[in-house]
Structure 1
Amino acid sequence: MYVDTYIINQKHYKPIKIEHHHIRSMLFMNASPVLNSTFDLTTVIFISALTVLSVLSLCFIFHLRFKSKSLTFLQNFNSLWTVRFLLVLFIFFWSIVELLRLPFFRRRYLYPFLPALGTSEQTHLCKISVVLSLGFFEPAFLVTLLFLLNASITKKTPKDSWAITFVLVTCVPLFILHGLLVYFNPLENQIPILLRQHSVVLEDETVLCAFPFLNSVVFAAFGAAYCTWFLFSCWRVLSLVINKNLRIRIYALGTVVLVALPLQVVSLAFTVLWTPEDEIYGVVSLVVFLGAFCCAVTGEGILVIKPISDALEAGSHCGCSWSGSRRQESLPPPPPPRLEETKMEERDGDVDLEDGLLRG
């Protein structure tokens, strides 16, 4: 379809013909880069913070990996570095998928590289985000977090291949089920559109992503089973922990996960009461995002950054002791231990206990 557009060129009008979809594209490109709402802005800020935390976690993981090659003591702490790497990787990809849900992100950062990104393509991105976010990446990092928690109380460190198998066996069937509900639902014509809509197209051709109710129900079933398993695992760990600091960490991890995940499930259920055009829908969607965000931040902080920082600190003390033992034969007998040395030995004992509980 063509329309006549007139421009002023040296005191006379010159008619030119421009395709209709080119006009729509130019309007789309010239749209204000301001975010649609404060909820989009809040989501972008939290995702940016999570990305920085994920990069910091990767730095800790690889630093411990390289450090353990020269210090034998650190190899026990580094036995499950691949599993922690997977945890951070799943969290990072989940945050990227959440960005695809934001119209601002699609308009500002995807359209310059994908000029043919029309309403149908954006609708397809909304479908992909539902399947990947609720169906794979979020369950994957939650299951990996649970694996690290269970591995902390095993007498023998499990192999990395067990972690990958554990995640795939748990998440792949869930991923397939979400994909079938979005793309190949045989009951699609019998279900009200309010229960199966994954996106809404506004008059200005802005596409707003939504959470299909059936996919929310499947994720709710996963959340209920996961919370039960996670609660049992926390109880097992706490029954073996005698270190006060470790008990505080486990309590913090359990409280955040067992509060944030059910809150996310309840918020997903409430999304059916409104449409994406309503402002209250943005509030509920933000709560859904924050539920998973809190689980991700707590998992990286308690199961990645803090144990590795403690391991590096303990490794530095062990390295000093090892280097001093090489000169022991040429030195006079050591004096009786002082109070500071006794405290250091007690702290090393706590670190050895933490190695058995939160190694990796």
Structure 2
Amino acid sequence: MPHLKVADALGVLTICLVSALFLFGLFCILYLIYFRNQIRTEGNIQLHYFSGPWIIRITYILFAILWGFGEILRLSLLRCGGRLLNALSWKWQETICKCHIVSNLGFMEPCLFLTVVFLLHASLQRSGTLNRKWNGKTACYILLFCLPVFFLQLIIILFGPKFNKDGYKHRLPDYFTSVAASPKTKGDNDDAIALCAYPLLSTICIGVFAVIVTSYLSWIGRRIVHLIINKGLQKRVYTLIISFSGFFPLRFVFLGLSVLSAPGEVVFEILAFLGFLSFLCCAGVGICTLVYFPVADALALRNLQKDTEARRISDDHNDSVSLITNQSHVGASIVNSPGRNSGASTRPGSISFRTVEKDGTSGTYVELSLFSPSQHSTPPDSPRFLGWPMLSHS
């Protein structure tokens, strides 16, 4: 059927994007662990600030990966046509849909958003992230602030369907609390298929949370931008704020509009995929901005520090050689000065060059004395110095 082909195509694309997110997140985790080991091994105290929130960064990546796997579980691709989840009963398929709503909309997405807020807030602190207790306290704060949304989603999923019964005076429509529905166009084996839907109450709940936290995130972002001088870092912060302030609420707009069509239809599948793609952009930008780029910059700074130290050592060596050369020139000038005794211009272990005029000839000789100061203390009538003749340039 055409609508199933569209759902299958979007499902395959969703699995491919989640796989790419998983591989990129795994690479960033290994990159972060490598960076931390390098810092601890080499003892670079100046770079400890960049590796301070490493646990929270890894936690952010794990939240993103688990969120991606949760999005795979709600796909119609795994249910229709006698596929993997179609072997389960309606009750179990509905339970999987409930777990998807509670885990992703009630836990993973709020935790991801709060992690970004705390990491940005940590950049405003001078030494807070250097404290070993910072990671533990931040993890506790993230879970604490996420609990209200989690319990509210749990209440909507567990107790919301009871308000749809005919006995209540103000009966809510099904799309306010329904987490699963059967496809409208059924085949021979589609009687026990439960396609996941997004309850409107759950979408409104997480949407209100997103608006509140987005306002606070924008305020922190403005403070950071005013403190940053580097234009490249300013662009990163702007990209992060725009992605979470724009794409994150946009996800819940798409999920809210999905109640206008039934699960399994083309419109619903497209809206659900656009909502998935919006949050995937947020998660990917967050991993790049908060994990990959800071680690890459810190490693580049470490390499620059190594080059600077090597250049300083080379300059010190050249200065020492220049000093020795200058001392030898000074010694040579003292030796060649008239009325000076050559023995007073030499020291044990020195190398000196001397020009001596030979009586009756114009030849010039250069004396090479190695570790022999007695050779320089010769009287005027002593035999000629040993050496090699200097050729005249004339």
What TM-score comes out, normalization by structure 1 length?
Answer: 0.77
How far off its partner does 1:45 sit? 1.9
**Other-structure match for 2:92:** 121
Task: Identify the match of residue 145 of structure 1 among 116, 120, 142.
Answer: 116
Deviation at 1:206, TM superposition (A): 3.0
Q: Which residue of 2 aligns with 1:199?
A: 180
The letter of the residue matching 1:286 is F
Measured after TM superposition, the shift of residue 36 of structure 1 is 4.1
Report what 2:146 is aligned to.
171
1:81 is matched with which residue? 54
Comparing 306-315 and 99-108, the one that deviates more: 99-108
Counterpart contact for 2:78–2:86, Cα < 8 Å: no
Which whole-Å CA distance do the structure 2 matches of 1:153 and 1:110 have between them? 50
2:35 alignment partner in structure 1 = 64
Task: Determine the C-alpha separation between the residues in 1 that align with 2:247 and 2:29.
Answer: 24
- Counterparts of 1:152 and 1:106, CA distance in 2: 45
1:93 aligns with 66
| Compared CA separation, residues 108 and 156, structure 1 to 2 (3 A) | farther
What is the SS of the residue equivalent to 1:68?
Answer: helix
User: 2:158 corresponds to which residue?
Assistant: 183
Identity over aligned residues, as a percent?
A: 26
Compute the RMSD of aligned alpha carbons.
2.6
- Asked if 1:313 corresponds to 2:300, the answer is yes
Conserved 8 A contact 2:8-2:77:
no
Q: 1:88 is matched by which residue type in structure 2?
A: I
The residue identity in structure 2 corresponding to 1:206 is: I
Go from structure 1 to structure 2 and tell me whether the alpha carbon gap of 1:40 and 1:287 turns closer, same or farther (over 3 Å shift): same
Which structure has the larger Rg over C-alpha atoms? 2
2:42 maps to amino acid: L
Q: Secondary structure at the match of 1:70?
A: helix
State the structure with bigger RCO (CA 8 A, min sep 6), 1 or 2: 1
Match of 2:389?
none
Q: Deviations over 1:127-181 (max 9, x none)?
A: 1000000000111111101111111111222411221022111112211110111
In the alignment, is the contact (CA less than 8 A) between 2:195 and 2:263 conserved in 1?
Answer: yes
Counterpart of 1:77 in 2: which secondary structure?
coil
Looking at structure 2, the residues matched to 110 and 93 of structure 1 have their Cα atoms a distance apart, in angstroms, of 22
Aligned-partner Cα distance in 2 for 1:86–1:323: 37
Once the two structures are TM-superposed, the CA of residue 328 in structure 1 deviates from its matched residue by 7.5
d(CA) in 1 for partners of 2:81, 2:42: 47
Partner in structure 2 of residue 243 of structure 1: 230
Report the 3-state secondary structure (helix = DSSP H, G, I; strand = E; otherwise coil) of the residue aligned with 1:197: coil
Any unmatched runs of 5+ in structure 2? 166-170, 323-394
Counterpart of 1:257, as a letter, is: F
Residues 181, 150 of structure 1: CA spacing in aligned structure 2 closer, same or farther, 3 A cutoff? same
Is 1:103 matched up with 2:92?
A: no
- Is the contact between residue 196 and residue 213 of structure 1 (CA under 8 Å) also seen in structure 2? yes
1:49 offset after TM fit, Å? 1.5
Which is worse superposed, 211-220 or 157-166? Answer: 157-166
Determine the structure 2 residue equivalent to 1:350.
none
Paired residues, what number?
Answer: 301
Which has the higher mean CA deviation after the structures are superposed, 141-150 or 156-165? 156-165
Contact 1:123 1:199 in 2 (8 A): yes
- Give a deviation string over 1:111-141, Cα, whole Å, max 9, x none: 4xx8962222111100100000000011111
SS at match of 2:181: strand
Q: Secondary structure at the match of 2:16?
A: helix
The partner residue of 1:49 within 20, 23, 27 is 20
> In the aligned structure 2, how far is the partner of 1:187 from the partner of 1:154?
48
Whether the aligned pair in 1 keeps the contact of 2:182 and 2:263 (CA below 8 Å) is: no
Aligned counterparts of 2:210 and 2:242: Cα–Cα separation in 1: 15
Name the stretch that deviates more: 217-226 or 155-164. Answer: 155-164
8 Å Cα contact 1:274/1:281 also seen in 2: yes
1:133/1:316 CA distance change after superposition, 3 Å? same
Amino acid paired to 2:67: W
The superposition leaves residues 221-240 of structure 1 with CA deviations (integer Å, 9 ceiling, x where unpaired) of 11110111111111111111
| C-alpha displacement of 1:37 | 2.7
Match of 1:268 among 255, 260, 263: 255
Query: What are the Cα deviations for residues 184-214 of structure 1, in whole angstroms up to 9, with x where unaligned?
Result: 3353433221221111123313321100011
Instruction: After TM superposition, give the deviation of residue 42 of structure 1 in Å.
Output: 2.1
Post-superposition Cα deviations, 1:302-324, rounded to whole Å, max 9, x if no partner, equal: 11101101111111222344466
Tell me how far apart the structure 2 counterparts of residues 314 and 142 of structure 1 sit (CA, whole Å): 29
Distance 1:307 1:192, change over 3 A: same
2:76·2:264 contact (CA, 8 Å) conserved in 1?
no
Instruction: Look up the SS of the partner of 1:242 in the other structure.
Output: coil
Distance 1:35 1:118, change over 3 A: farther
Alignment match, 2:265: 278
